[in-house]
Amino acid sequence: MARKKVKNKDVLPVYVRGLVSGKYTLRQAAESTGYTISWLCTLKKSYLEKGDIVFENQNKGRIPHNKISDAQRARIAALYASQYKDVNFSYFLECLREFENVNMSYVTLSSILKEYGQVSPESHSVKKKKRVVHRPRLRRDCEGDLLQIDGTPYAWFYKFGNNKRYCLCGAIDDATGKITGLYMTEYECLYGYLEMLRQTALNFGLPREIYSDRAAIFCKTPQKNSYLAEWEKLQELHGKHTQWQRILEDLNINQILAWSPEAKGRVERMWRTLQGQLPQWFFNRDIKTVEEANAALPEYIRWFNKKYGIEAAIDDPFWLDAPLNLDDILCAQFERRINRSGVITFQSSEFVCPTLDLAYTTVTVCISERGMFVKYRDKYYPMVPVGHKLSQVRGDSMPKVVQNIIYRYLFAFGKEISA
């Protein structure tokens, strides 16, 4: 392989003047300076027109058009220290572009912040203790093949002074790293996961498998099982005992239960990103409540997927279309018996069905975001609290009394009842 010629700027003026006087040939000048013959011809022509000025740096003393002033650098550093100190430099750069109309490279921003002594909250420090290295699990090849789900309690509104921890239920596609659903509730509950699954089904489709931990919402946790063999424990875990498992069975979705957080590392890593970004994202948009957050989260999902989502290894999605009776499936169901007065007792409260005249009949009570209904012979009938006039709940899909009952079931006692 031919050796690359080294350009020698120090002797360039001597050989250019020699070209003009005829002392050197173009080949001799090219071999000695390392420049091409075509460039030397151009330089020779410029020398004849302008003289020795062609050998000087024309940008010397000129201020670059994209130079950031000292005042602007100080403003950026002060802005990060006052409002964005909890986010990493990369997301701060996104916020500068969106809210401050400031465009720069990540390298420039990092140098400015480091100049003022700012350190990213995600900067890696040297760990003295040797960590256990877990073998990474390869991504699935097709989108919709596997969905990792989880819920994490966190003070999402702490920038407003609200340090209460709310649970955010989320799902991420294993093949593409795209978020398919996010829903926030006061506590980790079945309701949050049902709404997350509803978002996934309507916006993407139904996955083939769902990967979750072994919380009481997802499976029946064996009690006093020290005497059981491993296969017996697995058999009990995968038994259809909870509302969640019944719903997955109705939707033909296979359930996988993880034995450690590292097993579902994709969704665990997603929480690290969301906890670093969402509080600031809520603060910039003045989102202070759970209701406002749930209304705005679809916008964040679109932004997240556009920035962090990747293409699947095989362009053959596994998503299945959501069934037409999706709302009927995504609900908690309990069998109750109507007494001789036509009253149904549920969670120490009494209800009646004005359109259903049955006594001593076993029916199914269904609870979803639409309210509470009685299912009888594949038809649904609204439930009305005893002691409230029908006119008070007419046109209201979820009266306050029903909301309280749903809160007691889906939030406060969700784990105990669902198990």
Cα–Cα dist 221/244, whole Å: 13
pLDDT at 355: 76
What's the confidence (pLDDT) of residue 26?
87
Q: How far apart are CA 221 and CA 207, in angstroms?
A: 24
Whole-number Å distance between alpha carbons of 188 and 397: 24
Separation of alpha carbons 19 and 39, rounded Å: 13
The rounded Cα 112 to chain-centroid distance in angstroms is: 29
> DSSP string of 294-336?
HHHHHHHHHHHHHHH----SBS----BPPPTTHHHHSSEEEEE
Helix (H, G, I), strand (E, B) or coil at 249: helix
pLDDT of residue 418: 39
pLDDT at residue 369 in the model: 65
pLDDT in 10s for each residue of the chain, 419 residues: 444 566 777 788 888 888 888 888 888 888 888 888 898 898 888 888 888 777 777 666 666 666 788 888 889 889 898 888 888 888 888 888 888 888 888 998 888 888 888 888 877 655 556 666 666 678 889 999 999 999 999 999 999 999 999 999 999 999 999 999 999 988 888 888 999 999 999 999 999 999 988 887 887 766 555 555 555 555 555 555 788 888 898 899 998 888 777 778 888 889 999 999 999 999 999 999 999 999 999 999 999 999 999 999 999 999 999 888 888 888 888 888 888 888 888 766 788 887 777 788 888 888 876 677 888 887 888 887 776 443 333 344 444 444 554 554 444 443 444 33
* Strand (E) or helix (H) holding 32: helix 26-33
Longest Cα–Cα distance of the chain, Å, equals 120
For 242, half-sphere exposure in the C-beta direction (CA atoms, 13 angstrom radius) is 25
- pLDDT value of residue 58: 66
Name residue, tokens 């037409």: 324
- CA-to-CA distance for 62 and 66, rounded, in angstroms? 12
Query: What pLDDT, on a 0 to 100 scale, did the predictor assign at position 396?
Result: 42
284 close to 99: Cβ distance less than 8 angstroms: yes
Cβ contacts of 111-118, under 8 Å, gap ≥ 24:
112/68, 112/73, 112/76, 112/77, 113/76, 113/77, 113/80, 113/89, 115/73, 115/77, 116/73, 116/74, 116/77, 116/81, 118/77, 118/80, 118/81, 118/85
Are 207 and 183 in contact by the 8 Å Cβ rule? The answer is no
Q: Which two tokens stand for residue 375?
A: 């299912």
Give the model's pLDDT for residue 343: 86
Q: What does R_g of the chain's alpha carbons equal in angstroms?
A: 33
- Measured distance CA(177)–CA(140) in Å, rounded: 10
Both structure tokens of 271:
């929480």
If DSSP codes are grouped into helix, strand and coil, which group holds residue 382? strand
The strand ranges marked E within 5-52 are none
Hey, CA dihedral for 352, 356, 359, 362, is it positive or negative?
negative
Strand pairing of 166-173 and 179-185?
antiparallel
> CA–CA separation, 196 vs 189, rounded Å?
11
What is the Cα 92 distance to its own chain's centre? 17
* DSSP track, 158-198: GGGT----EEEEEEEETTT--EEEEEEESSS-HHHHHHHHH
3-class DSSP state for residue 403? helix
Quote the CA–CA distance of 47 and 359 in Å, as a whole number.
Answer: 108
This prediction has a pTM of 0.71
3-state secondary structure of 14: helix
C-alpha to C-alpha distance for 208 and 265, rounded to whole angstroms: 19
